[in-house]
Amino acid sequence: MTRTLVTGSAGRLGRSVVTALAAAGHEVIGIDRAPGTPPQAAATMPADLTDLGEAFEVMTRFRPDSVVHLAAVAVPFSRSDAVTFRVNTQLAFNVCESTVRSGVERVVVASSPTVIGYGTPGWTPSYLPIDEDHPLAPWNAYGLSKQVAEEVVTSYARTAGTRLAVFRPCYVVAPEEWEGAPTQQGHTMAKRLDRPELAGVSLFNYIDARDAAAFVQALLDGLPRIPNGEVFFAGAADALTREPLSEVLPKVVPSASGLAGSLGDVVFSCEKAERLLGWRAARSWRTELRA
């Protein structure tokens, strides 16, 4: 049985990852300072992984085969810029350092599509749809912290025997949020569809947390056969809008109007994940949203 340690196991994405990995036969260890890790976890532990010694203690105590690192200040501007940058970058470094030095076989680190830089006044994509080769241009502490986290993974992947990868999950929707529970911004998913400017902030990207969990499982399985340090987008196969994406995107990102005409169903392409991992999102707002 594979022992997989999940940091941020009580979070909106972490809960689904724990549940999915346990159902797939993993012995899941949940690490989170907050309560709420699903009961499917074989063990849980509150730990401050911004402390390198504590990160090493966690790896030494549980000796995981794989680590999925989700813990972070997860919402831009929810904390001060200094705290957001320090916590997220320190977490990424400590997790990579402690896992590689402890001989963990596989490590997956969560980043964010915000590294692309959307949201900056006057921002224009270099091309559409956006894939993993698109230039990075983070404009706030959160996006910058995620770019640094990606660079940390890349650095370790150059020389480590550990297999590492980064994924950029789109706007994560927990299962209960389709039923009307408030999202991390406080509004409902129905309102996010009714008011395009809400979803437009993130270019209408989203992913069901259960699909993101399935992606994590596919990535863990695929790590031995793909180049070390790869980066992947993970998102739904459509956009979070009732209007055609080519029509609604220019309304919220006028600078992209010249590129939007040829858009299909998404702004962020997940073709790489499908090609290298055989993964494609199974859920859509059309199938999951409850009236």
177/5 Cα distance (integer angstroms): 26
Question: Which range of residues forms the domain containing residue 153?
Answer: 3-288
Q: How many domains in the chain?
A: 1
Strand ranges in the chain using DSSP code E only, listed in sequence order: 3-7, 27-31, 43-45, 66-69, 106-110, 163-169, 172-173, 207-208, 230-234
Q: What is the pLDDT along the chain (291 residues), one digit of tens a residue?
A: 899 999 999 999 999 999 999 999 999 999 999 999 999 999 999 999 999 999 999 999 999 999 999 999 998 889 999 999 999 999 999 999 999 999 999 999 999 999 999 988 888 999 999 999 999 999 999 999 999 999 999 999 999 899 999 999 999 999 999 999 999 889 999 999 999 999 999 999 999 999 999 999 999 999 999 999 999 999 999 999 999 999 999 998 888 888 888 789 999 999 999 999 999 999 999 999 986
What CATH number does the domain containing 177 carry?
A: 3.40.50.720
Cβ 162 vs Cβ 95: under 8 Å: no
End-to-end alpha-carbon separation of the chain, Å? 41
**What are the φ and ψ backbone dihedral angles of 276, each rounded to 5 degrees?**
-90, -30
Residue 94's closest CA among 147, 156, 13, 46?
Answer: 156
SS3 262: coil
Whole-model pTM above 0.85? yes
